[in-house]
Amino acid sequence: MSLWTVMYSAIRRAHILARKRTIVQPSYQHAAPVFDLQRSCHGKLYEMAPANSSKYMPTAKQVFFKSVKYDTSTSGTLLDWQKQSDIDKHMSKDPCRLMTKEPGKQPAEDPCEQFKRMRLKNDPKQCPPSGSAAPDGGDGCNGKDSGDPNKSLKLTCLLGALAAMVAGGLIAWFLASTKNDDNKGAGGGSDGDNNSADAKRGVSGLVTSPDSSEKLPKHVPYLIIGGGTAAFSAFRSIKSNDAKAKVLIVSNEYHKPYMRPPLSKELWYTPNTNEKTNKDYRFKQWAGSERSLFFEPDEFFVDPEKLEESVNGGIAVAQGFSVQKVDAQNHTVTLNDGYKITYDECLIATGCAPKNLPMFRDAAPSVREKVMVYRTPDDFDRLLRYAAEKRSITIVGNGFIGSELACSLAHYSKENDGGKIYQVFQESGNMSKVLPNYLSRWTMAKMKNQGVCVIPNASIKSATRDEESLKLELNNGMTLLSDIVVVCVGCSPNTNLASPSKLEVDRTLGGFVVNAELEARRNLYVAGDASCFYDPLLGRRRVEHHDHSVVSGKLAGENMTGAKKPYVHQSMFWSDLGPEIGYEGIGLADSSLPTVGIFALPSATDARSSTDNLTVNREEDDGSKHTIIVDEKSNSDVVTWDDDAHGEQPDYGRGVIFYLKNEKIVGVLMWNLFSRVGLARTIINQNKKYDDLNEVAKLFEIHS
Amino acid sequence: MSFSFCKQFGKDKVIFVTKEDHATPSTIELPAPEPAEGVITKDGNINWSCPCLGGMATGPCGVDFREAFSCFQYSKAEPKGSDCFEAFTKMRDCFQLYPTVYNKANGGIDDDDDDPLADALPVDTSSEVPVKEDQPAESGAPAPPAEVVPSQTSSAVEKAQ
């Protein structure tokens, strides 16, 4: 075997691998695979890199490639670029014009119609013949849930707590039999949801990995508390800067690190998905390629017991362990069972836990078992089972998770002839914390078009359980029958270990208080949702977004290896609400701030028969090129347009929204505009007053 | 006939503009974006944090990968990299220990079939003579063709962290 054979094979592998995960992408992607239509879309979002970054950065492939100049390679590279630019050209010709729905899919009737008739019965359901007698006698159809370990467990747990506790205790005893301290069993989650969670884990066979904390190293150079996106991003960053770093993640979850955004988005668009066929939670990305929810396969990780002796270091994940406190002065972390691990550098990335509503928390067990929050792959599995059984689902909350989930479920329901999807919230429109009111309401109308039965300005007064489902009485007099309620009302940072660790928690924003370098104490950092950091540009903040976890995790990782860098790179966020709405934002996209939105109006040359009232207004005018200010008072119907009167709405199809504070742009939202986050970041970083925001908007090329 | 116009909803202002309205260039001047830092930094070092490495530097064979890549990058041998046989063999051997990480890993759909390198790389290695490397220190970002150059939406600043 010659040298070159080896080189080729190695380089080739490297190339293939690099190509798989590189950021090199044309700015417009091919047809979005998720929906049955084309539109320009987000760039690659799930790489461990700032989203949209470095599109034209050389990849390992190119470097290897360029360096080894074989006769044919040069043309190969050029060809590669050529192909890409062709795609670019091609795509830019018809970027967003195809954003129309398939006519056949337009729901003809108001999705709320049925509901308005105070629907009293559910879609006919059938008990599978195999339905066995469940512990819950109240639910005649309970057999169909017998496949659901969580649920049947919960029933067991709630109605016959004894059995569960005994079982959980037994397992706990097993686990603890080799330990010095009293171990609460498998888990004990930092979110404090303890007994049932422990029992659940114990009974359903979720055991910690390794089986005892004693098998964990007593000292690690890098210790990360929490096993989410920020934790994994920090690991990447640490290992990039310290080649042989040994990193231990202590996570109270029973999964390897995974990303969460697809749980409310892409995963619902994966055809024929279910727990058995899709164990790795694979999904198709906007950019076209498929990937798993998990950042890396199991093989990537080192066994925690072997971390200490590993020559080249690596990452080990202790699954199912909770941390009780951090002693920053003595560089020691104490687990819930009392086991101590010392560290050189430590990162707290505990994330946040979804909130529930008091009315559900305090409700009867029979009600509670039909109420869930949504944050993990297990929650996805559970909800998917309901959706697959064509159950009717009610989502409470109008934020990112609630709205995305409502759209995804409505889509799933439409594809699979499923049950009704309701979304109930107190505000007057979707995403009202982010979108200005007019856009929030426009978005709500679009979501109704997609089949979500949106019920704004309403809250749930009471929830009672009948044979099969929950009866929800709303404060507006409506009654809703639903098989499951998904509470999506935000989450609160997991800061349980703050007080025993004597760490400061921000009183208004929540989260551990850290400085601009994400440092809580010397050698102790906090990243992700749980980090309340100082942004030198925009002030003290806490951000709950995927990209923020990536960005802050990366920064913390760099600082843990000695970089001493402040937070200067603004993270972004994105969301998709069905086929017609996708957006990306950066900075303080807070709808309580004054905003200026600049939207694209079809030009006269466009062969589009827009008949909205704006067109009418235009024609009434004398045709001069002046800007008309339509005042709210003189044209109040614009503000109070009816949700269902589509013909009278302005079309907020595409545009850019600036959020202002002291007249400076502090946030930018790109509405159906993609690949412009870098520009928006530059503008925010200018920290300047602009006299004419329309000129700023020109930079965004909202018509192209 | 069309022109832009505004609406005001309380604190929120909305402006609708036509393509023609935005046909003239913006009067706003933004600072020139810093060139994106690729896998090779300006001073010729390897940027192991580059997302373009796709996590290779952080995986179970990260150390071997680094050694092979560095050896190659800094090789002064003729032909370049010919002194890196050992490092590459080691890297390859390591890759083979982790097939799910280094073969099908996360991607899955990108396979050898559609790999442009499959066409570009010579099949019969014995007949190929590597051409002399004339730029010992790679300048990092290879200039993309003009069509691909991003407009002012500079992705470069994305890296500025």
pLDDT per position as a tens digit, B92-133 = 999 999 999 987 544 333 333 333 323 332 333 333 333 333
Is A127 among the domain residues? yes
SS3 content of chain B, % helix, strand, coil (to 5): 35, 10, 60
Are A653 and A672 members of one domain?
A: yes
Predicted confidence band of residue A284 (pLDDT cuts 50, 70, 90): confident
Write the pLDDT tens digit of every residue in A535-547: 999 999 999 999 9
Tokens of residue A123, six digits: 């879609």
Task: Tell me the Ramachandran region of residue B140: left when phi exceeds 0, alpha when psi lies from -120 to 50, beta otherwise.
Answer: left
**Each residue's pLDDT tens digit, A520-537:** 999 999 999 999 999 999
Tell me, yes or no, whether A340 and A371 share the same domain.
Answer: no
Give yes or no: residues A497 and A474 share one domain: no
Please give the residue range of the domain that contains residue A382: 366-490
Q: A296-325, pLDDT tens digit by residue? A: 999 999 999 999 999 999 999 999 999 999
* pLDDT confidence bin for A7, thresholds 50/70/90: low
Q: Quick one: fold of B39-104?
A: Helix Hairpins (1.10.287)
- Tally of domains within chain A: 4
Rounded alpha-carbon distances, angstroms, from residue A653 to A39, A457, A580: 12, 25, 8
Residue type, B122: P
Instruction: Dump strand ranges (E) for A299-438.
Output: 314-319, 323-327, 332-335, 340-348, 352-354, 371-373, 393-396, 421-424
Contacts of B102 in chain A (CB under 8 A): 13, 17
Query: Exposed, middle or buried, A276 (CB in 10 Å: 0-12/13-18/19+)?
Result: exposed
CB-nearest to A63 from B39, B66, B151 is B39
Please tell me the distance in Å from B141's CA to the nearest CA on chain A.
5
pLDDT for A276 equals: 72
- A663: confidence class by pLDDT, cuts 50, 70, 90: very high
Question: Contact, A30 vs A87, CB < 8 A?
Answer: yes
Read off the pLDDT band of A703 (50, 70, 90): very high
Contact call for residues A47 and B49 (beta carbons, < 8 A):
no
Confidence band (pLDDT; 50, 70, 90) for A467?
Answer: confident
Mapped to the 3 state alphabet, what secondary structure does A322-355 carry?
Answer: CEEEEECCCCEEEECCCCEEEEEEEEECCCEEEC
Give A406-446 pLDDT, tens digit per residue. Answer: 999 999 999 999 999 999 999 999 999 999 999 999 999 99
Do residue A429 and residue A536 come from a single domain?
Answer: no
B71 touches chain A (CB under 8 A): no
Report if residue A23 sits inside a domain: no
**Nearby residues of A185 by Cβ (< 8 Å), 6 or more positions away:** A168, A169, A171, A172, A175, A176, A198, A199, A201, A202
3-state secondary structure A477-492: CCEEEECEEEECCCEE
A contacts of B160 (beta carbons < 8 Å): 568-569
- Of A170, A202, A227, the residue that ends a domain is A170
CATH code (residue A623): 3.30.390.30
| Co-location of A626 and A598 in the same domain | yes
What is the CATH number for A233? 3.50.50.60
Which amino acid appears at position A399 of this protein?
Answer: G
Q: What residue of B is the nearest CA neighbor of A436?
A: B12
pTM over 0.80: no
Residue A693 falls within a domain, yes or no? yes
Interface check B114 vs A, CB under 8 A: no
Q: What is the DSSP letter of B46?
A: B
* A475-485 pLDDT, tens digit each: 999 999 999 99
The residue extents of the domains of chain B are 39-104
* DSSP classification of residue B126: G
Contact A239/B at CB under 8 A:
yes
| DSSP symbol at A231 | H
Pick A318 or A101 by higher pLDDT: A318
| CA-to-CA separations, A498 to A226, A480, A502, A512, A526, in angstroms, rounded | 14, 41, 6, 7, 11
Chain B stretch 1-40, residues whose beta carbon is closer than 8 A to a beta carbon of chain A:
1-22, 24-28, 30-31, 33, 36-40
Please name the residue of chain A whose CA is at the shortest distance from the CA of residue B49: A240
Q: What is the pLDDT of residue B78?
A: 86
pLDDT of residue A101: 32
Same domain for A498 and A485: no
Torsion on CA atoms B48, B49, B51, B54, rounded to nearest 10: 50
- Show the CA angle centred on residue A373, arms to residues A367 and A375, nearest 5°: 160
Locate the chain A residue with the closest alpha carbon to B94: A10
Q: What residue in A sits closest to B129 (Cα-Cα)?
A: A70
Question: Which of A266, A281, A548, A534 lies closest to A407, judged by CA?
Answer: A266
Rounded distance, CA A499 to CA A324, Å? 10
Q: Which of B91, B145, B152 sits opposite A85 (nearest CB)?
A: B145
Mean pLDDT by 10 residues, chain B (161 residues): 76 94 93 79 88 88 95 90 93 94 54 32 33 35 35 32 29
Q: How many helices (H) and strands (E) does chain B have?
A: 4, 2
> From CA A376, how far away is CA A515, in angstroms rounded?
30
Task: Tell me the C-alpha distance between B122 and A68, whole Å.
Answer: 12
Tokens for A266, please give them: 């892409």
Shared domain for A482 and A531, answered yes or no, is no
Query: Burial letters for A404-435: b for 16+ Cβ neighbours within 10 Å, e otherwise?
Result: bbbbbbbbbbeeeebbbbbbbbebebbbbebb
Taking an 8 Å cut-off on Cβ atoms, the answer to whether B117 and A16 are in contact is: yes
Report the pLDDT averaged over residues A117-136: 35
How far is the C-alpha of A558 from the C-alpha of A577, rounded, in Å?
A: 35
Report the distance separating Cα A249 and Cα A231, nearest Å.
7
Strand partners, A453: A422
